[in-house]
């Protein structure tokens, strides 16, 4: 039996012809435009590049808000530490010269530490003992600051150097005065560095006074009728005055030529004589005097012409007589 292949060859020629005649349409269906394929790939690549950048930019801005929160927390801890040091300053100021009290404080502190298991109590007792023995220095202040802030705060919030990254080199704490001046420097590491701002340097300054229980800078108390219990005096005077503007207390300095001073008289009619302090007798020009004084002076800056007026309680001047003009009784 013999097989015939002629119809197959004829069919093959027929379909080959159909493919040749429809080649553009078939190619269009089977092979999409290269231009369209390029556009879709381009959008994918751009998205892969831009989206991470946008996300990093957003995270960077968000972390800036976190930096503000970190700074606020550090400032609060710094203020609390300065407040505690202000109160502890009284301890050192009042017991630093009492060796017996320091020894008893050391013994009582050790006893209290042995009888407690509270870590906060132990830390406070150790701090008080250290301050009483050596005063408040940068090391003690920094230790108190870290206790208030939290020992793991620096590592959790990307402070460069951890707790050692807090620097107090420019601080001055109770340096022969009652001032507590704290200058804290630290650096925050920004983990989302995309614009070249990986390290953020921060500086905080704080100034306060130690609570030493004294009236600073000659501040005066004003409490209603208490003015009646205060009088005015001079350091070397013998009388006290009720009125701060009393002419016997304040001095209006007048001037005259040296040749004419012999003819000048004070309010009581007395003559003027040379001042022993400024040697006015050798003056050949201008001399200075007051209406109620008895001396003339070579210089307007002579210490005898000026007085330091003090406001003191009346009870403290019992050995002085009242002024005949403003405090006569």
Q: Tell me, what's the pLDDT at 270?
A: 86
- Assigned domain for 227 exists: yes
Per-residue pLDDT tens over the stretch 159-175: 999 999 999 888 888 77
Instruction: Kindly give the parts of the chain with pLDDT less than 70.
Output: 1-43, 92-135, 193-197, 213-228, 280-284, 329
Please check whether residues 228 and 272 belong to one and the same domain: yes
- Residue ranges making up the domain that contains 157: 49-96+135-214
Say yes or no: 306 and 284 in one domain: yes
Same domain, 201 and 255: no
Q: Give the closest residue to 128 by CA, choosing from 82, 173, 90, 180.
A: 90
Per-residue model confidence (pLDDT) at position 236: 74
Distance CA 294, CA 251 (A): 13
Q: Is 149 in contact with 169 (CB distance < 8 Å)?
A: no
Q: Are residues 253 and 144 in the same domain?
A: no
Collapsing DSSP to helix, strand or coil, 83 comes out as helix
Backbone angles phi, psi at 175, to 5 degrees: -90, 85
SS3 of 24-73: HHHHHHHCCCHHHHHHHHHHHHHHHHHHHHHHHHHHHHHHHHHHHHHHHH
Domain count within the chain? 2
What pLDDT digit, counting tens, does each position of 44-95 carry?
Answer: 777 777 888 788 778 777 878 888 999 999 999 999 998 888 887 777 666 5
Please state whether the predicted TM-score (pTM) of the whole model is above 0.75.
Answer: no
Closest CA to 94 of 139, 128, 137, 144: 128
Q: How many CB atoms lie within 10 A of CB 19?
A: 9
In a domain, 107, yes or no: no
What is the 8-class DSSP label of residue 235?
A: T
Q: What is the pLDDT of residues 199-213, one digit of tens each?
A: 888 999 988 888 776
Which structure tokens are listed for 65? 């808000």
């Amino acid at each position: 039996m013999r097989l015939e292949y002629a119809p197959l060859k004829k069919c093959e020629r027929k379909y080959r012809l159909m493919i040749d005649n429809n080649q553009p349409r078939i190619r269009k269906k089977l092979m999409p435009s290269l231009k369209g394929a390029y556009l879709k790939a381009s959008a994918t690549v751009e998205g892969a590049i831009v989206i991470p950048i946008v996300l990093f930019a957003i995270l960077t801005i968000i972390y800036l808000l976190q930096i503000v929160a970190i700074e606020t927390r550090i400032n609060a801890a710094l203020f609390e530490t300065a407040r505690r040091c202000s109160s502890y300053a009284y301890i050192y100021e009042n017991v630093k010269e009492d060796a017996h009290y320091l020894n008893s404080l050391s013994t009582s502190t050790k006893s209290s530490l042995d009888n407690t298991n509270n870590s906060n109590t132990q830390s406070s007792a150790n701090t008080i003992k250290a301050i009483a023995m050596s005063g408040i220095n940068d090391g003690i202040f920094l230790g108190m600051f870290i206790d208030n802030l939290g020992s793991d705060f620096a590592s959790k919030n990307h402070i460069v150097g951890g707790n050692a990254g807090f620097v107090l080199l420019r601080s001055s704490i109770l340096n022969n005065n009652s001032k507590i001046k704290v200058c804290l420097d630290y650096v925050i590491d920004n983990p989302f560095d995309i614009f070249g701002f990986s390290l953020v340097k921060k500086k905080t300054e704080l100034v306060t006074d130690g609570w030493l229980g004294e009236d600073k800078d000659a501040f005066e108390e004003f409490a209603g009728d208490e003015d009646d219990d205060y009088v005015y005096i001079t350091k070397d005077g013998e009388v006290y005055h009720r009125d701060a503007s009393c002419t016997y207390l304040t001095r209006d300095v007048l001037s005259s030529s040296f040749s004419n001073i012999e003819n000048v008289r004070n309010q009581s009619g007395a003559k003027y004589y040379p001042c022993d302090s400024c040697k006015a007798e050798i003056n050949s020009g201008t001399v200075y005097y007051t209406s109620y004084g008895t001396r003339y002076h070579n210089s307007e800056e002579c210490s005898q012409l000026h007085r330091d007026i003090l406001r003191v309680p009346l009870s403290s001047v019992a050995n002085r007589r009242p002024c005949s003009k403003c405090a006569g009784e």
